[in-house]
Chain A
Amino acid sequence: MDGNLDALTTVFTEFYYWVTVVFMFLIHVGFCMYEVGASRARNHMHTLMKNIMIIPLVTVTFFFFGWWIYWAFPNFWFFGGSIDFEAGAANLPWSENMATNLDDRITGVFWAAFLLFSWTAASIVSGSVIERIRSSALWVHAVLIGSVFWIIDAAWGWHYGGWMVQKLGYHDAYASGVIHAIAGGYALGVIMVLGPRIGKFAKDGTPRDIPPHNPWMLTIGIFLIYTGFWGFYAACNVPAISPEAIGGQITGTTWTATNIYLAPTSLSAITFNFLMSLSGGLMAAYVVSKGDAFWTFSGGLAGIITASAGNDLYHPIQAMIIAAIGVVIVYNLHYWVERKFKLDDAVGAVAVHGYAGFVGLVISGFVLWGAPSSPYEGYAAINPVGQFLGAVIMFFVLGFLPGFIVAKLQSMAGVLRIPEEVELQGLDYAEHHAYEDAKAAIIEADKAALAAKS
């Protein structure tokens, strides 16, 4: 760190990402609350454990290989590219940069910001499969989506040198596709193989609602997700950088915040757009669901996700309208898919994340048509075809296909779903039996003590 300005910038950047990581932890807290609230009492502890253990499993694997993939894969295979071992070297688990190192104060916090996105991707899948998947099966999916597939998509489409950005003009500033579409697509692939919960569909195929055990827990959960999502937005930016450091086509000496592609934006802009897209989503969901509380709250989230691809550049009113359009599409698509394909997406994750992310990418291709995708020369501009292809790559190629194939293999090996008897008595059967037995024994003992005194 030579000079006061460099030192200040480094320390500010280090602190900035650290704060975003702490905020983003609330996303996981929110997902846990949402899942537990949506599950029935007989599955609470297993549902919670299933999501909590995503944290360590994705963390260690993201340390071992996920972070390396991000730096080594931006041009893998495509257009004459290959694995970039040189860029990846500093991000290998045995690199000195991946540890306590006074000469590198950024890698740890930047790694952590990406890692929290990884938890989110895995947690999205976790919600859709509650009450019937084996934890061991889900945790394999968590590692795959959290430390392999999403980070490949990030290398391709969420990296300043990614091939999708260069060739397709792919633009996804706050991760409509790179987190939400891929995780929703992955969840869809898994639930197609996993099947619905017992009782979800009547014999004639009519879907039954399985109401949440604790609606208030769901409500607080989704509000925590909103809060963490704000931190997520900040984490997607580079907080302060000079044109010289970017090294692109920007002229002059004005420092700026940038998106992940090093193209200029500001925290102020994304704050406008975050709140307006949240509002558009809430309002549209309220109308389309006729005031259903949970669809309204989820609609707020789906609204933000729909607008996220372009929320670095949109006008706030555009963000609001795009969010509202997305929510109407997502809501209708969710029920159509449920009825048509008999799919049980327990928390609406495929719709809120997957469909909203896909639709958001497509819309941004039209609204931002011709805008530069990057500050570097020779990159394709943002365009509808590039955004549509990007959405297909995220949702189907890197999301749906791996989820479906791995779940199919697990199903063939008989290690995907819990036995029917266990599903009926609940995953927490042992804890509940022990609890009920202990309760009965202590009540009996107290009564005996009271009788002895009188």
Chain B
Amino acid sequence: MKGMTTRQLSLMALLTAIALAIHVAEAQIPAPVPIPGVKLGLANIITVYAVFTLGAGPACMILAARILLGSLFAGQAISLLYSLAGGLLCLLAMLPLRKVLTRKQIWVSSVIGAIFHNVGQILVAIVVTGTPAIASYFPVLLLSGIAAGLFTGFAAQALIARMDKRKKQ
């Protein structure tokens, strides 16, 4: 990126570290339901924050760094594939929404991002296992994704509102 300030770089590094810490901590929590891919996705709070306050480039870099390092620290090699496909689709869905949503609607981007994350996960699962039957998990995955997206979305929106207020002071 051209013209990135030291301030911006430090902020991105800090956000990556926070996202990574959340990612690793969440991996220690046992899955609430025994369905592969169901998770809260708390690190998504940081992605949403980065998308709405730093823009596309930084958000993409933070997400990529978090997924790569997160899979290295907490997951297995195979989970990297799911996270990358899910994360990439999620980001692609969120970016255009940035222009459309107001500051009070930021949570919407998280939910729609979660839906696309699920689409990415299930597509990779079908390709990896060669079994389209896995798609029968999609409805359940979608419902849990929407719920998790609502939660992380409102959390991110509250965070952004707080930070906006601080900047004004």
Q: Do A and B come from one complex?
A: no
